[in-house]
Amino acid sequence: MSGPVKVLIVDDEPQIQRFLKPSFIASGFSVASATSAKDALRAFSSSSPDVVLLDLGLPDADGKTVIEAMRRTSKVPIIVLSARDREGEKIEALDLGADDFVNKPFGIGELLARVRSALRRTSQPIQHGIGEIDINGIRIDLARHQLTRNGVQVHLTPKEFDLLAMLMRHAGRVITHRQLLQEVWGPANVADGQYLRVFIGQLRAKLEDKPAEPSLILTEPGVGYRFADPS
């Protein structure tokens, strides 16, 4: 990547743009802004940003249509800005291909961290299938179906392994319940949220220092789970 990282900020509230723009500039990004879905898609094709911040409540169209349109041509990280109480909206956005979300109101530090994490994932894509992932002392060998925690082997059932592998492959990124169920249990089981709760509980019992206060597999209430960022 040459030159400053380009961020496209799509939000119809001028007051949000007002602090986001100088903050990203001060953090070394170059910034493009859009206040409507139409503007956003135009700026997206003309400035080809490296990361997109998207508010879902746009005046001219549902923000989700913007995600769909962008995903047709690009894998650029899209981070959704949304109110805390709009779980349904966030889930839909993530299922449509958004990478992450930040609840409004947010501190600039949190947002910048999410943006960096998303950028890191795209610049060093973790290979799917064969390979090893090592995050925070958890080392997963995808080929041999083996897991070690701080060098000690941990036994996982095949479903536990698949679930953990899915979370670790997308470490730092939120995966919706639906995405996890579909990937691990298959499309017929997307409504069976109870499986997920049970298996997440088992994984935490095996991996976390304090399963009641997890630091590796984090819950995003109402949305899904996130494997702690490698940073």
Chain centroid offset of residue 25 CA: 23
Q: Is 41 in the site for another protein (CB under 8 A)?
A: no
Question: Considering beta carbons, is residue 55 or 160 the nearer one to another protein?
Answer: 55
Q: Is 23 in the site for another protein (CB under 8 A)?
A: yes
Q: Is 33 in the site for another protein (CB under 8 A)?
A: no
For residues 153 and 206, the answer to whether their CB atoms sit within 8 Å is no
Mask of contacts with another protein, 87-106, x by CB under 8 A? Answer: -----------------xxx
Q: How far is residue 210's CA from residue 213's CA, in Å, rounded to a whole number?
A: 5
| Residue count, binding to another protein (CB under 8 A) | 22
Q: Is 228 in the site for another protein (CB under 8 A)?
A: no
Q: How far is residue 178's CA from residue 140's CA, in Å, rounded to a whole number?
A: 23
> DSSP letters along 176-202, please?
EHHHHHHHHT-GGGTT-HHHHHHHHHH
Angle, vertex CA 128, rays to CA 122 and CA 131, nearest 5? 110
Q: Is 27 in the site for another protein (CB under 8 A)?
A: yes
Please state the closest distance from residue 50 (CB atom) to another protein, in A.
Answer: 19
Q: Is 12 in the site for another protein (CB under 8 A)?
A: yes
Q: Could you list the residues that contact another protein (CB under 8 A)? A: 12-13, 15-16, 18-20, 22-23, 26-27, 57-59, 83, 85, 104-109
